Chains A and B, each alone.
Chain A
Amino acid sequence: MFDRLILIGTGRVARGCAEVLAHLDLPLTCIEPEQSDFSLVRSFCAQRNLEYKLISERRELSQFFMNISVPSLVVSAHNIYIFPLQVVKNPALKIINFHNALLPKHGGHNAPSWAIFDMEETSGITWHEVIAEIDRGGIITQSEIPIGERTTALDLTMRCADLGIESFKEILPGVLAGDYRPRIQTSGAAYKVHHSKDVPNDGMLDLSWDIRKISAFLRSMDYGKLSVFPPPRLGILGNVFNLHKYTFLEGFDEHDRQSIAFDPPKLSIISGNIQIEAACARRDA
Chain B
Amino acid sequence: MEKILFILNQIRPEFDFASSSDFLADGMLDSFDVVALVAALDSTFGISIDGTEIVPENFQNLAALRLLLERHGI
Contacts and interface: CB of A to CB of B under 8 A. Distances in A.
A38 B38 contact: no
Contacts of A11: 30-32
B12 to A, nearest CB: 9
B73 interface: no
Interface in A7-24: 11-12, 15, 19
Residue with the greatest number of chain B CB neighbours at <10 A, chosen from A37, A47, A157, A161:
A37
B30 to A, nearest CB: 4
Count class of interface residues, chain A: 20 to 34
Nearest to B39: A224
Nearest to B35: A224
Contacts, number: 57
A201 interface: no
Residue with the greatest number of chain B CB neighbours at <10 A, chosen from A37, A157, A224:
A224
7 shortest A-B CB distances, which residue pairs? A224-B35, A12-B30, A38-B31, A43-B25, A11-B30, A224-B39, A226-B35
Given A39-B24, A225-B38, 20 more contacts: A11-B31, A12-B32, A15-B27, A38-B24, A38-B30, A38-B31, A38-B59, A46-B25, A47-B25, A154-B36, A157-B32, A158-B32, A161-B30, A161-B32, A223-B32, A223-B35, A224-B36, A225-B39, A226-B35, A227-B51
20 contacts: A12-B33, A15-B27, A38-B29, A38-B34, A38-B59, A39-B24, A40-B27, A43-B24, A43-B25, A43-B26, A43-B27, A154-B35, A154-B36, A154-B39, A158-B33, A161-B32, A223-B32, A224-B35, A224-B36, A225-B49
Interface of B: 24-27, 29-36, 38-39, 49, 51, 54-56, 59
